[in-house]
Amino acid sequence: MYGSDPQAPAAALAPASGTRPAEAGRLGLPRGRVGSSAAPRRERDRLGEIIGASPAMQHVFDLIELAAACDANVVLIGESGTGKELAAQAIHELSARRAGSFVPVNCGAIPETLMESEFFGHRKGAFSGALIDKHGYLDLADGGTLFLDEVGEIGPRLQVKLLRAIDGGGFTPIGGTEVKRPDFRIVAATNRNLRALVRRGELREDFFYRIHVLPIHLPPLRERREDIPLLANHFAARFGRSAAAPPLTPRLIEALCGHDWPGNVRELQNAVYRYLALKRLDFAGGRESEAAGPAPPAGTGHGEGLEAMVARYEKKLLLEALAENRWRREATAAALGIHRKTLFAKMKKHGITPPGRSDACAS
Ligand SMILES: Nc1ncnc2c1ncn2[C@@H]1O[C@H](COP(=O)(O)OP(=O)(O)OP(=O)(O)O)[C@@H](O)[C@H]1O
Ligand SMILES: [Mg+2]
């Protein structure tokens, strides 16, 4: 266990992002510690700490269990806040490696010059400032899981060295002579398009294929809105219900379900916490709605006439509904409870055209 190991790299003991310490203790364990907790249990609408009843999340749960049952490298792909780190921890804790360490590394937060020593460790005196021998992340992950968060940020030089270590060729700490061959499994995460990085020459193809054995896509929250009430209630219960905390009313839940959540589950979690603490719904963009109804468009009331304000709001609602229904106009009209032709007319009036088209929309 390296929780008390003075040789451990400092960053390994910190939360992967370095910015969300509250998440570090989510499992009740210091980050990067030996995974001695009980394996996460699968229930109808959750897998351990991961909540989700939607078919998309049930599929993710299946893939997590599949990944846990084998030892292949995994890459978790999804927008920020979709639960990639939570999924990585679940894979580790469900796997045969759970007695080993889960070592989270935020590849985007390590300065290029420190990368090698952080990953491979160094010997005392290897460079000025190397006052003691120090283990690297690969040593710490021996028998466990190396979580490479923001894997797309690893430079090509380190990719070559990592690849060799992954392939069993081992590595030598800086200033050392011995070759080490720790046994670890890689779970990587990214919110970037790794194939595009390969095409641009930023990610080596051989490294890509080595980590991209079992890809798992974490769907954005706007594509699984049925999970929003479940998640909101989960966060409210976790926040701790005090007598002063306002209830999650059906109207509030409706407003939450209508929001697009660009920051995904993290944004929803923060919005629920803010609501319980401040008693008002405040979407992260700064728009506020005390009544928890749909928020009015930004800038309301700055000398604009009622008609212009209503038109602006209507346009905003149309755009949201169209995006939500992937620009299928039949479905959007049905969702808005208006006739197809009325939707066409309104789109024309507001100059709304589907993405990728500049022509008029009324057809
Ligand atoms: N399905 C979920 N159920 C419960 N909590 C979730 C779920 N998904 C995410 N969260 C919570 O949302 C927050 C963000 O999750 P996490 O850090 O795993 O996201 P991420 O995809 O790694 O984000 P980033 O790309 O920004 O690092 C955490 O507090 C996590 O506990
Ligand atoms: Mg993350």
Ligand closest to the CA atom of residue 26: 1
Mind listing the pLDDT tens digit for each residue in 228-273? Answer: 999 999 999 988 766 677 889 999 999 999 999 999 999 999 999 9
Q: Which residues of 160-183 are buried (b: 16+ CB within 10 A; e: fewer)?
A: ebbbebbeeeebebbebeeebebe
Atom from ligand 1 closest to the CA of residue 227: 1
pTM for this entry:
0.72
Q: Which long-range contacts (CB under 8 A, 24 or more apart) does 68-73 make?
A: 68/92, 68/94, 68/95, 69/94, 69/95, 70/214, 71/95, 71/96, 71/97, 71/185, 72/185, 72/213, 72/214, 73/166, 73/185, 73/186, 73/187, 73/188, 73/210, 73/211, 73/212, 73/213, 73/214
Q: What residue type is assigned to position 160 of the chain?
A: V
In sequence order, what DSSP letters do the residues of 179-215 get, joined into one string?
A: -B----EEEEEESS-HHHHHHTTSS-HHHHHHH-SEE
What spacing in Å lies between the alpha carbon of 113 and ligand 1's midpoint?
29
Ligand nearest to the CA of 85: 1
Q: What is the pLDDT of residue 311?
A: 78
Sign for the pseudo-dihedral over CA of 261, 50, 149, 34:
positive
Q: What is the mean pLDDT of residues 279-283?
A: 82
Helix axes 329-336, 306-324, angle to 10 degrees: 120
Q: Which of 26-35, 107-116, 160-169, 263-272 has the lowest mean pLDDT?
A: 26-35
The structure tokens listed for 220 are: 């954005």
Instruction: Give me the CATH topology for the region 223-289.
Output: Helicase, Ruva Protein; domain 3 (1.10.8)
Pocket of ligand 1 (CB under 6 A): 17, 23, 26, 49-52, 78, 80-86, 189, 191, 231, 265-266, 269
**pLDDT for the residue numbered 296:** 47
Phi then psi for 39, rounded to 5 degrees?
-65, 140
SS3 call for 337: coil
Q: What percent of the chain has pLDDT over 70?
A: 79
Q: Alpha-carbon distance 67 to 57, whole Å? A: 15
Distances (CA, A) of 282 to 192, 273, 313: 28, 10, 18
Q: Say which ligand is closest to the CA of 191.
A: 1
CA-closest residue to ligand 1 atom 30: 83
- pLDDT grade for 333, boundaries at 50, 70 and 90: confident
For residues 294 and 13, what is the distance between their CA atoms, to the nearest angstrom? 42
- Using one digit for the tens of pLDDT, what is the confidence trace for 89-110? 999 999 999 999 999 999 999 9
pLDDT at position 306 is 67
86 C-alpha vs ligand 2 centroid, how far in Å?
8
CATH class of the domain defined by 10-219: alpha beta
Return the best residue to mutate from 17, 63, 86, 234 for the ligand 1 pocket (most ligand atoms within 8 A of CB): 86
Q: How many C-beta neighbours within 10 Å does residue 146 have? A: 28
Say which ligand is closest to the CA of 263.
1
The residue whose CA has the least distance to atom 12 of ligand 1 is 266
* Atom 16 of ligand 1, residue of closest alpha carbon: 83
Evaluate if residue 299 carries a pLDDT over 70: no
Give the closest residue (by CA) to ligand 1 atom 26: 80
Distance 73 CA to ligand 2 centre (A): 17
Q: Ligand 1 centroid to 114 CA: how many Å?
A: 27
Q: Which atom of ligand 1 is nearest to the CA of 268?
A: 12
Residue nearest to atom 15 of ligand 1 (CA): 83
| Per-domain boundaries in the chain | 10-219, 223-289, 306-349
Distance 107 CA to ligand 2 centre (A): 11
Q: Could you give the C-alpha distances from 251 to 45, 247, 256, 293, 321, in angstroms and in order?
A: 23, 11, 9, 7, 18
- The structural architecture, per CATH, of the domain 306-349 is Orthogonal Bundle (1.10)
Contact 105, 147 (CB under 8 A): yes
pLDDT of residue 361: 27
| Fold: same for 223-289 and 306-349 | no
Q: Answer whether 174's CB lies under 8 Å from 116's CB.
A: yes
Cα of first residue to Cα of last residue in the chain, in angstroms, is 65
**Closest residue CA from atom 7 of ligand 1:** 83
Q: What is the pLDDT of residue 288?
A: 41
